[in-house]
Amino acid sequence: MTRFIVAVGSTRRPKLNAVRDALDAFAPLLAPSAVFEVTGAEVPSGVSHTPASREELMLGARRRVEALMEVAAKQSENWSYFVGLEGGLEVALERDFHAGESHRRVFLESWAYVSDGARGFYGRSGAVEMPQTLAAEVLDCGVELSVAIDRFAGEAGIRDAQGAWGVLSRNLISRQEAFRVAVIAAFAPFYNAKAYHRTAASAGM
């Protein structure tokens, strides 16, 4: 039986479980008769502790994958897929044309980047809007989101439990679930390759 190892650039439980849950959904489409295993390795993202833009989120996810590839090469690991996960903020300015002003709105997002060593693709969760006070503590005061959300909720260790997603959605969407969606989206060009090839061909690429 064919065995694929999926390497994740983290050892945190919500991230590893998110990848496992995502694989349960699409593994039969990717390789019907194969067995998939998930392994985690702590690697640097190369971005700030709380990315504050879509570009930084994407960069962090991709750099984790690049770091995983370096680890695989140095240790002669036979990893089939590499997954980088990055959570953080996206800042948007909402224009009020009547008042002639712009208001900052901040959203929590979860991103994934997946590569088979040759090709790589991104996926993203949905977004949930941050309370202004919480957003200000992170963006204006420089407090790490994991610290700020613990203070905001009056709990400890939220990052390794429901995450900020769970706090803001009253646990209707957990951090793990947000990353699961991002991973499923990022893997789409692999398990649905025909659709992506057809799109490229029809565009004359």
From 91, 90, 71, select the one nearest 82 (Cα to Cα): 71
CA-to-CA distance for 205 and 194, rounded, in angstroms? 14
Q: What is the CATH number of the domain that holds 126?
A: 3.90.950.10
Instruction: Enter the tokens of residue 170.
Output: 């009253």
**What is the domain range of residue 116?**
3-194
Residue 34 lies in a domain: yes
For residue range 52-110, list pLDDT tens digits in order. 999 999 999 999 999 999 999 999 999 999 999 999 999 999 887 777 788 899 999 99
Whether the CB-CB separation of 84 and 46 falls below 8 Å is answered with no
Question: CA-CA distances (angstroms) from residue 19 to 10, 56, 112, 152, 193?
Answer: 11, 21, 10, 28, 19
Residue 199 lies in a domain: no
For residue range 138-154, list pLDDT tens digits in order. 999 999 999 999 999 99
Residue 171 lies in a domain: yes
Name the domain count of the chain: 1
Residue 184 lies in a domain: yes
User: In 3-state terms, what secondary structure has residue 204?
Assistant: coil
- What are the φ and ψ backbone dihedral angles of 9, each rounded to 5 degrees? -80, 50
CA triple 194-195-200, angle to 5 deg:
95
Residue 202 lies in a domain: no
Whose tokens are 């044309």? That residue is 97
CA-to-CA distance for 56 and 200, rounded, in angstroms? 27
Q: Report the predicted TM-score, pTM, of the whole model to 2 decimal places.
A: 0.92
